[in-house]
Structure 1
């Protein structure tokens, strides 16, 4: 019998990526909540390089980093595929996943921006999201067409966590007038039952991210 465990943290979009993938594939697993303010020996031993969640355990082996975990899940359990079967389409999917990872710094800049820098950061992220919308999503319901896939899962943070960021920062970016296709995608993504039933409570997430925001903000100001 396979042993599958996930070490995660409830506000983490990276942990939720793995949860969505496991549930969409129908894989039974045990979830272990990590206290990131007091990291467990399990976390430190299973991910000694980055010491971060999520970590997936499969038959005694540990796999770290959410994008690596998603690939592992796809290869280990090919049923209910989340990547296209066509090699070229798989390559495109991996390109857009990497695009999101590479542009992650802009999200951080938007989150910690103050004063006039806030509007500047919003414009930068808007340009990135326009590329994602026009070249990645196009006119599709999801990034892979009419069904949810690994690219959608990798951008799942946009559908919930980024909306919280907008509320905290006080600047709206994903609006119908600016990003109509991406705005529609957010609704389509969150309407999937597996996604809808496995999102952290919005208000609780706002409280958590506000605390994180002010901590980062004071660190930036101190610099």
Structure 2
């Protein structure tokens, strides 16, 4: 890949935020280099590219860094015209999808983290809250797609995620996910006991 058109994604394979960017790149057919980051020992490049949040993902294109997965997704959609559009052309539908994606991002991941860090009653409460949020999401998405004309985004939502070729290509083995979740839970529970 020529240096001036090189696309580099800094992230961790298990991060849902990084996955969002990887899926967008794959859908668009954009070749990229993946740099696995160690978040305990952040590399100088990551700190240079994202000095504000010092987080992943970071996409570097033409030597210019971009941060925050939704902003990166929009950049990918606007920069590479190959492949299907990631968002519909209709401004209202595009805004609605952005809203629900943000809602899912804020509430689903927050609830999942809470479920993994808590025990018994608190965990049950977090699960109930998650179900309420998912019901809101489901109801909100019904209105968005009621015209019956599926867009490329509709198709991605309606097809089971694990059946998408992109998802199969980016699949992380079950054992790695389970081991990582167990480790995160153990660390979270240990830190709650220590405090």
Q: What residue in structure 2 maps to residue 158 of structure 1?
A: none
1-side partners of 2:99 and 2:156: how far apart? Answer: 9
CA pair 137-221 structure 1, distance change in 2 beyond 3 A: farther
SS of structure 1 residue aligned to 2:114: helix
2-side partners of 1:91 and 1:148: how far apart? Answer: 13
Q: 2:102 aligns with which of 80, 98, 104?
A: 98
Q: Which runs of 5+ in 1 are unaligned?
A: 153-184
Q: 1:112 aligns with which of 112, 117, 127?
A: 117
SS of structure 1 residue aligned to 2:76: helix
How many angstroms does 1:20 deviate by? 0.8
Q: What residue in structure 2 maps to residue 128 of structure 1?
A: 133
Q: 1:84 aligns with which of 69, 88, 91?
A: 88
Q: What residue in structure 1 maps to residue 8 of structure 2?
A: 5
- Alignment RMSD (CA, Å): 2.3
How many angstroms does 1:96 deviate by? 0.6
1-side partners of 2:24 and 2:127: how far apart? Answer: 30
> TM-score, structure 1 length as denominator?
0.76
Q: What residue in structure 2 maps to residue 220 of structure 1?
A: 192
Q: What residue in structure 2 maps to residue 36 of structure 1?
A: 39
SS of structure 2 residue aligned to 1:36: coil
2-side partners of 1:107 and 1:13: how far apart? Answer: 12
> TM-score, structure 2 length as denominator?
0.86
Q: What residue in structure 1 maps to residue 165 of structure 2?
A: 193
How many angstroms does 1:42 deviate by? 0.9
1-side partners of 2:170 and 2:52: how far apart? Answer: 28
How many angstroms does 1:105 deviate by? 2.5
Q: Which runs of 4+ in 1 moved over 2 A?
A: 104-108, 137-140, 144-152, 220-223
1:23 equivalent to 2:26? Answer: yes
Describe the superposition over 1:156-194 as per-residue Cα deviations: whole angstroms up to 9, x where unpaired.
xxxxxxxxxxxxxxxxxxxxxxxxxxxxx5x71110111
2-side partners of 1:120 and 1:145: how far apart? Answer: 36
User: Is the Cα–Cα contact under 8 Å of residues 53 and 65 in structure 1 kept in the other structure?
Assistant: yes
Q: Which runs of 5+ in 2 are unaligned?
A: none
How many angstroms does 1:62 deviate by? 0.2
